[in-house]
Amino acid sequence: MIPHSHAEESQLARTPEFQAARAIELAASELETLRLQALDLAETLSTHIRSLKARSRDMRDRPFRTEEPASERR
């Protein structure tokens, strides 16, 4: 049914089928928003993990320091 007037449109909007379809559209939109947020979070976490791995390699590759720190020499 294609509404031809505001009254018909208003009547159609009150039907359970229309309300269910609208609820599904809203849920789909919310899911898409969550999907995009999850992708963004995954990228952020991936970036942090790469940074931590690089930092770990840097620490591992440094020569071991055998001197006591200045605060412990006294």
What is the per-residue pLDDT for 39? Answer: 98
What is the per-residue pLDDT for 46? Answer: 97
What is the per-residue pLDDT for 68? Answer: 66
What is the per-residue pLDDT for 69? Answer: 65
Query: Mind listing the pLDDT tens digit for each residue in 26-56?
Result: 999 999 999 999 999 999 999 999 999 999 8
Question: What is the overall mean pLDDT for the chain?
Answer: 86
**Distance set, CA 47 to CA 6, 12, 39, 52, 68 (Å):** 52, 49, 12, 9, 35
Report which residue type is found at 48: H
> Residue 74 above 60 pLDDT?
no
